[in-house]
Amino acid sequence: MVKDKRVYAVILAAGIGSRMGADITKQKMLLNGRSVIARTVGTFYECDFIEKMVIVGRAEELDYLKTELAPYAEKIHATVVGGATRLDSARRGFLALPSEATHIALHDGARPLVSKATVRAVVECAVKYGAATDAGKIYDTVKRVDVNGIIRATLDRTELAVARTPQVFDVEIYKRALQNAGDGVGITDDNMMVEALGVELHTVVTDEPNPKITVPQDLKYAEFLLNEREAANV
């Protein structure tokens, strides 16, 4: 299904990572001896159904990214400077795609534990339906809370999922979504732009951990998961 398509990944690694409280950005942080961004890009590099990648980074980190990601250079189509917002960065990544691209797979550079199986499942779903996203199940009871911190409703968790990445779209759908997004105020992921078009967006829901490195404890959790994964492969 995927072999006759040209799927390009856009790896978004232009965030400041202020919530980490560190003196380096989270993409530079080490996870069991390898940088977060190298682990992320390495996974997509190993996906034979991903044609090439566009890396979106901070202007001051472009030289670092080119050096750090040199082992994967064969599949890196371009490295571009990100924008002031996630939407700006995603747009710049999209504009760097070659005309041959049929699908765009957007992924957070700070999600280094995504598996090749998950990437494949989301890509195959998007090739079939036009738009798909990785999603996580919710097991906690979820409440809707007002601005004063008062619980106003209990939501049905069977109808809820946590949106993660990769988020994969037919390039024509994504192009229309960008054109419709305006300044992008309030947009926190690419799914929201596609939803606004009225396009049906399919979820690939799994139990597989795919954490985003946002705060210090996330790095510790990722290290734990990585150790578990490596031990299981011994």
Domain annotation covers residue 1: no
pLDDT attached to residue 113: 97
pLDDT of 165-213, one tens digit each? 999 999 999 999 999 998 877 888 999 999 999 999 999 998 889 999 9
153: pLDDT confidence band, cut at 50, 70 and 90? Answer: very high
Domain annotation covers residue 60: yes
Domain annotation covers residue 62: yes
Q: Specify the CATH number for the domain of residue 117.
A: 3.90.550.10
Domain annotation covers residue 2: no
137: pLDDT confidence band, cut at 50, 70 and 90? Answer: very high
Interval 15-30 mean pLDDT: 80
pLDDT attached to residue 39: 98
CB atoms within 10 A of CB 132: 28
pLDDT of 54-106, one tens digit each? 999 999 999 999 999 999 999 999 999 999 899 999 999 999 999 999 999 99
Q: Is the pLDDT of residue 164 over 70?
A: yes
Domain boundaries, position 37:
7-232
pLDDT attached to residue 1: 61
Interval 10-34 mean pLDDT: 86
- Are residues 169 and 190 in contact, defined by beta-carbon separation less than 8 angstroms? yes
- Are residues 64 and 28 in contact, defined by beta-carbon separation less than 8 angstroms? yes
Domain annotation covers residue 75: yes
CA 85, CA 187: separation in Å to the nearest integer? 10
pLDDT attached to residue 230: 83
CA 2, CA 114: separation in Å to the nearest integer? 19
32: left (phi over 0), alpha (psi -120 to 50) or beta: left
pLDDT attached to residue 204: 97
Q: How far is CA 185 from CA 4, 170, 181, in A?
A: 36, 23, 9
Interval 161-167 mean pLDDT: 96
Domain annotation covers residue 183: yes
Domain annotation covers residue 12: yes
Type of residue at 217: Q
Domain annotation covers residue 127: yes
β-bridge partners, 168: 105, 132
CA atoms within 13 A on the CB side of 155: 13
Q: Is the pLDDT of residue 234 over 60?
A: no
Tally the domains of the chain: 1
